[in-house]
Amino acid sequence: MQTLIKGGRIIDPARGIDAAGDLLIDSGTIAGIEPGGSIEPDGDHCQFIDARGKWVCPGLVDMHVHFRQPGEEYKETIATGSRAAAAGGFTAVCTMPNTSPVNDCAEVTRFIIEQAEAAGLVRVYPAAAISRGLEGRQLCEFGELAAAGAVAVTDDGRPVSDPLLMRRALEYSSAFGLRVISHCEELELSAGGAMNEGALATAMGLPGIPCAAESIMVMRDISLARLTEVAVHIAHVSTAESVAAIRRAKEEGIPVTAETAPHYFSLTEKAVEGYDTHAKMNPPLRCEQDRLAVCEALADGTIDAIATDHAPHSELEKLVEFQLAANGVVGLETSLPLGLKLVAGGLLSPLQLIERMSAAPARILGLPSGLRKGMAADIVIIDPEVEFTVSAAGFRSKGRNTPFEGWSLRGRAVLTMVGGKTVYRDAGFGQ
């Protein structure tokens, strides 16, 4: 069975391609690709997809999601999270280990992979914990976790406060090819904080979280990466200070990579005005100068990847007093359209945006990504022009906690394919 995607704009950051052309899929793998040319099907049964006016890209990769299973299935399951991912144009995600129980042993890692296979939508790569129970005391069995299918280790949701543990995690991880992802937060500085520290927090009477709570640990981890010569990946970068530290480290050749989330390049702390718990997350939304620094870092490559930090919560956690509300926003179904705003604003080229959302996170996690003959057909077709209004009620995710409700956005995924199988198709697209 062949599928021919005809007349699209083929964008493949792995090879730096951005050109009109055709792409042929046969039995789940890419059988032919002709940027700047056309392909004629050689089989009898060929399905055609008219991609004129659309972008044909490698499937997006979200290296930072919380799917809540096991333990908090009322917020999200691996199946509902996978549906949301597919609808957002993602073909692969990396799940954070702060579930209940924590993904700190091979059994939980295998359970996640089994659930993902049963859902049969997107590829789910678990990140396991650095420390047992995320308690920061005992190293997890990285070898067992890697053998079970984990691709990274992190105590995300919490920092690794002990610098010796972080050093050892970097050293030990290198024996098993696991990427170490760091949630940078100095807990003594952020304790009790509910939003960014500054004039707005003062006016709202909310305890603040200073930028230094993040950047101090970013600088620590850069020093440890220099010491150990093992790469560290900095999660959800939110401040100008962190950006500057990462830029300097990269100039010095220290192995560090970084991600930011769409809310940090789209919003500032102003979004929490009126005590809107849907704009509460950790790290918190910062000031305009931080937002601009994050944008600039995405453009010059200081920040490698866009990851959503998709963190679904229910009304139980969000329809409460602001300081008591849980941190986190959903992101899978708004990430690409918000990224496309950066393209529309001239900050990123289409090729750069797709790179930040596919090739870069794949490279950091050691996953395949690209549109090359013989590769699995993990593909997203994007309509860059379609206009729509964000409505959480229509999300595939169980989470409705978005700060982007009611936003008018342009461009989104219209077809997502994993291994040649269509896992999402926009109702208005083709066929």
Partner 1 sequence: MQFARKDILDMESLSVEEIRLILDTAESMKEISRRPIKKVPTLRGKTVILFFYEPSTRTRMSFDIAAKRLSADSLSISASTSSLVKGETLLDTARNLEAMHPDIVILRHSRAGAPHFLARHLKSSVINAGDGIHAHPTQALLDMMTVREKKGTLEGLKIAIVGDIAHSRVARSNCAGFTKMGSQVVVCGPPTMMPTGIESLGVSVAPDIDTAIEGADIIMMLRIQKERQKGFLMATEREYSRFFGLTPERLEKARPDVLIMHPGPMNRGVEIAPEVADGPYSIILDQVTNGVAVRMALLFLVAGGARHADVD
Distances (CA, A) of 379 to 47, 294, 320: 16, 28, 40
Site mask for partner 1 (CB under 8 A), range 297-316, x = bound: -------------------x
How far is the C-alpha of 353 from the C-alpha of 349, rounded, in Å? 6
- Tell me the closest approach of the beta carbon of residue 399 to partner 1, in angstroms: 19
- Tell me the closest approach of the beta carbon of residue 277 to partner 1, in angstroms: 9
333 Cβ contact list (under 8 Å, min separation 6): 84, 87, 88, 395, 396, 397
Length of the chain equals 431
The first and second tokens of residue 119, run together, are: 């859902």
Q: Does residue 29 bind partner 1 (CB under 8 A)? A: no
- Tell me the closest approach of the beta carbon of residue 196 to partner 1, in angstroms: 10
- Tell me the closest approach of the beta carbon of residue 80 to partner 1, in angstroms: 24
Our measurement of the distance from residue 208's CA atom to the centroid of its chain's CA atoms, rounded to an integer in Å, reads 26
Nearer to partner 1, 227 or 320 (CB): 320
Q: Does residue 274 bind partner 1 (CB under 8 A)? A: yes
- Tell me the closest approach of the beta carbon of residue 5 to partner 1, in angstroms: 48
- Tell me the closest approach of the beta carbon of residue 325 to partner 1, in angstroms: 10
Q: Which stretch binds partner 1 (CB under 8 A): 122-130, 133-141, 319-327, 351-359?
A: 319-327
Residue in 126, 208, 284, 328 binding partner 1, rule: CB under 8 A: 208
Q: Does residue 319 bind partner 1 (CB under 8 A)? A: yes
How far is the C-alpha of 364 from the C-alpha of 361, rounded, in Å? 5
Distances (CA, A) of 65 to 126, 226, 335, 379, 397: 10, 28, 12, 20, 12
With beta carbons less than 8 A apart as the criterion, state whether 382 and 89 touch.
yes
- Tell me the closest approach of the beta carbon of residue 282 to partner 1, in angstroms: 17
The first and second tokens of residue 83, run together, are: 């549906």
Residue in 320, 366, 394, 421 binding partner 1, rule: CB under 8 A: 320
Q: Does residue 406 bind partner 1 (CB under 8 A)? A: no
Show contacts with partner 1 in window 38-77 (CB under 8 A): none
With beta carbons less than 8 A apart as the criterion, state whether 35 and 78 touch.
no
Residue 221 bears catalytic tag: no
Q: Does residue 324 bind partner 1 (CB under 8 A)? A: yes
How far is the C-alpha of 164 from the C-alpha of 114, rounded, in Å? 34
How far is the C-alpha of 30 from the C-alpha of 222, rounded, in Å? 39
* Number of chain residues interacting with partner 1 (CB under 8 A): 22
Nearer to partner 1, 19 or 324 (CB): 324
Q: Does residue 206 bind partner 1 (CB under 8 A)? A: yes
Show contacts with partner 1 in window 186-205 (CB under 8 A): 194, 197-205
User: Cβ atoms within 10 A of the Cβ of 41, count?
Assistant: 18
Nearer to partner 1, 208 or 331 (CB): 208
- Give 310's strand partners: 65, 329
Nearer to partner 1, 192 or 345 (CB): 192
Active-site residue, selected from the candidate residues 12, 155, 309, 383: 309
How far is the C-alpha of 382 from the C-alpha of 51, rounded, in Å? 9
Q: Does residue 211 bind partner 1 (CB under 8 A)? A: no
Please measure the distance between the N-terminal and C-terminal CA atoms of the chain and give it in whole angstroms.
16
Nearer to partner 1, 203 or 393 (CB): 203
Give helix then strand counts, H and E, for the chain.
14, 18
Nearer to partner 1, 171 or 276 (CB): 276
Alpha helices (H) along 67-211: 78-87, 106-119, 142-148, 163-173, 187-190, 199-204
Q: Does residue 275 bind partner 1 (CB under 8 A)? A: yes
Nearer to partner 1, 196 or 302 (CB): 196
Q: Does residue 175 bind partner 1 (CB under 8 A)? A: no
Give the chain's radius of gyration (CA, Å): 21
Catalytic residues, by residue number, are 309
Residues that bind partner 1 (CB under 8 A): 194, 197-208, 274-275, 316, 319-324
